[in-house]
Amino acid sequence: MIEKIFKLRQNGTNVRTEMVAGATTFLTMSYIIFVQPAVLSGCGMDFGSVMAATCISSAFACILMAFLANYPIALAPAMGHNFYFAFTICGPAIAGGLGYSWQIALGANLIAGTLLFILSFFGLRELVISIIPDSLKSAIAVGIGLLIALVGFEYGGIIVDKPGALVGLGDPKSPEMWLSLSGVIAIGTMVALRIRGAILYGIIGTALIGIPLGLVHYQGIVSKPPSIEPTLLKCDPFNVVTQPGLISIIFILFFLDLFDTVGTVVGVGEQGGFYKKGKFPRIKQVFLSDALGTISGTLLGTSTVTSYIESSAGIQAGGRTGLSNLVTAGLLLLSLLFYPLIKMVGGGYETPQGNYLYPIVAPSLIIVGSMMIFNVKNIKWEDPTESLPAFLTFAIMPFSMSITEGLSFGFISYSILKLITGKVRDVHWALHLTSAAFIARYVFLRT
């Protein structure tokens, strides 16, 4: 039955590989279980309820992706979206926020998710994928790889912010930095030896090493799941439609989810070899899963649920079908029971300076980022109208810490260069329209 549903042999994989891949993806994305409630509790939402909503909605979306699209693309609340939700929409005016309640913010997110579902149902989001030139597709994968690696360097304390500069090298004497680097070497060695599940084994090994160093603390195994009641069905879409000022917020939520998903799907699609003759099979089902994830997450009590770039870790571990997503979903639900154990591995380490680092997860992110750079070879470097937009795409993503911003710069520059050089007809009209929308976002809607 498993073979019939997920077509393992056809995709060159097996049950063991898919299980390892699903577990790998889970471990690299498990930090969101702890980060999400910490962020949203800042705007008055219940910490435990947000955690439960995060686990349940993510698992539901992963299951949808498994059965509707049969891809190992995991979903969870998006980083960046949650900060926009908590600090811009719900933040106090004195701190630059708009001061809306979290119930109204969830209502706006529900409307944005519904719009995405409608677009996905009629296949309009597929058009966005089909109009992206090959050079930009490769650049998106490279950019996401650089972004993943940068996050990994930061989580490991290897790269830190420096006064008078954007970033600098962390303290070479810090144990978290050496633990992260040791994990990178260990995983890299296993990858070089072609050991399947190298990333998962590396995470486990790094965690074990971190215990005697005092960077990982045993906190128990099982605990009672938190209640979801404080946020369940508390979204308020009705008051949203009566306030014109929220229209731009709905559009921004819609816009962020749309292009973050496109960027992530293109990136992991390139890495996993999911494209067939330039097309992404079952892309409509991918977007439907994504949109339904956002809707379910909003109803349960969390911000935008979208496709996760951390899926790259599971794909690198050999995941090729939705079976790995079922493993990820199962672990997300189990994490409600094994909260202390999951927190020990992915919950982070507080430094003496009061910062939180994730030296156990960091090595896997760095390794995955390095592996995604190979897509740079597919860019047409001899053609400036292709190479410059590609460069801007993958350079802006890590520097701005945003997939959307990288897409913006890539699309806009691609359209302009093709227009100026008389190659405008070589570009799909929808790409020019998308570029115009990006420009409008910067001019009128950027907050």
Per residue in 114-166, pLDDT (tens digit) is 988 888 877 776 666 677 788 888 888 788 788 878 888 988 889 888 877 77
Q: What is the mean pLDDT of the chain?
A: 83
For residue 262, give both structure tokens. Answer: 């496109």
Are the CB atoms for 156 and 180 separated by under 8 Å?
yes
β-bridge mates for residue 439, sequence order = none
Is the pLDDT score of 86 beyond 60?
yes
For residues 383-410, b (16+ Cβ closer than 10 Å) or e, as one string? eebbbbbbbbbbbbbbeeebbbbbbbbb
Per residue in 244-271, pLDDT (tens digit) is 667 777 877 887 787 778 778 877 887 7
Q: What is the largest CA-CA distance in the chain?
A: 65
Q: Of 46-60, 114-128, 257-271, 425-439, where does the model show the most confidence?
A: 46-60
For residue 357, give both structure tokens. Answer: 């680092």
Q: How does strand 159-162 pair with strand 305-307?
A: unpaired
Per residue in 303-322, pLDDT (tens digit) is 889 888 788 888 888 888 98
Is the pLDDT score of 3 beyond 60?
yes
Is the pLDDT score of 40 beyond 60?
yes
Angle between helices 384-400 and 134-155 (to 10 degrees): 20
Are the CB atoms for 128 and 430 separated by under 8 Å?
yes
Is the pLDDT score of 97 beyond 70?
no
Q: What is the predicted pLDDT for the residue at 447?
A: 47
Q: What is the predicted pLDDT for the residue at 56?
A: 95
Q: Which residues contact 299 (CB under 8 A, 6 or more apart)?
A: 110, 232, 233, 235
Q: Which residues contact 55 (CB under 8 A, 6 or more apart)?
A: 33, 332, 333, 335, 336
Distance of alpha carbon 199 from alpha carbon 367, whole angstroms: 8
Q: What is the predicted pLDDT for the residue at 9?
A: 87
Distance of alpha carbon 286 from alpha carbon 246, whole angstroms: 28
Distance of alpha carbon 206 from alpha carbon 27, whole angstroms: 12
Helical (H) or strand (E) element with 410: helix 403-420
For residues 322-359, b (16+ Cβ closer than 10 Å) or e, as one string? bbbbbbbbbbbbebbebbebbbbbbbbbeeeeeeebbb
Residues above pLDDT 70, as percent of the chain? 93
Per residue in 370-387, pLDDT (tens digit) is 887 877 888 889 999 999
Which residue type occupies 331? L
pTM of the model: 0.71
Compare 80 and 304 and report the one with higher pLDDT.
304
For residue 231, give both structure tokens. Answer: 């946020």
